[in-house]
Copies of this chain bind each other. A is one copy, B any other.
Amino acid sequence: MNPTEIAANINELHKGTFAERLGLVLIEASRDAVIAKVTLGPEHCQPMGIVHGGVYASVVESLASVGASIDAMSKGKHVVGLDNHTSFVRAFRGGTLDARATPITRGSRTQLWEVTLVNADGAVIATGRVRLLALDPEAEVSGEKLSLRGG
C-alpha cells in the first residue's frame, strides 16, 4: 500500500473514535511522515471562541501515534504514548488547518515524533512532540494485550 492508501485505511479505523471527533482526516501516512487536514468548528472551541488547546494536543498525539505505529508494526511491535508536549503559537477561530508529523527518532525502544499545525498561510498555529514506547505484541496494557477492536 502507498501512503495515500494507508491513510484511507486508518481513516476507516478512526471512525467512531476520538480522532474522528477532532475533525481529523489523514491524507498520507507512512513511517516517514503523516499528513492530515483538520477541520475545526465551534465544537472544538473553548467558550471564548478560540480553538481549545486540547484539540491541538490531540491532533499532535494522533499523528505521532499513527506514524510511530506504522514504523513499529514493520518491526512487529506496538507503541503507546508516554508524554505529549504541545505549544500553542497563534490563536485560531475555526476553519481548516494542515498538520504534518515527522520523526525525530525511531528507535527500537522509543520513538520521538514532532507534529506541526499550520493555517492556510503556512503560519504555525501549534506544534508538539510526543514520546512513544515500543511494546512487544504480547505485552499487556491495562490488563489486556493491545489489538485493534474486533481484531
Do the beta carbons of A87 and B142 come within 8 Å of each other?
Answer: no
Asked whether A21 and B19 contact (CB < 8 A) given A50-B141, A54-B57, A81-B88, the answer is no
Do the beta carbons of A49 and B149 come within 8 Å of each other?
Answer: yes
Residues of B within 8 A of A72 (CB): none
The count of chain A contact residues (Cβ–Cβ below 8 Å) is 64
Asked whether A22 and B92 contact (CB < 8 A) given A43-B16, A86-B84, A127-B104, the answer is no
A17's partner among B42, B62, B78, B80 (CB-CB below 8 A) is B42
Asked whether A54 and B22 contact (CB < 8 A) given A142-B92, A148-B48, the answer is yes
Do the beta carbons of B61 and A57 come within 8 Å of each other?
Answer: yes
The minimal Cβ–Cβ distance linking A122 to chain B, given in whole angstroms, is 13
Can you list 27 contacts pairing A with B, beta carbon distance less than 8 Å? Answer: A14-B47, A17-B42, A17-B47, A18-B46, A18-B54, A20-B43, A46-B62, A46-B65, A48-B148, A48-B149, A50-B142, A50-B146, A52-B58, A53-B61, A54-B60, A54-B62, A55-B58, A57-B61, A57-B86, A80-B88, A81-B88, A82-B82, A85-B85, A87-B112, A87-B129, A87-B131, A92-B142
Beyond known contacts A17-B42, A83-B85, A87-B104: 13 more, CB 8 A cutoff: A18-B46, A46-B65, A50-B142, A54-B57, A54-B60, A54-B62, A57-B61, A87-B131, A89-B104, A92-B142, A104-B124, A105-B124, A129-B129
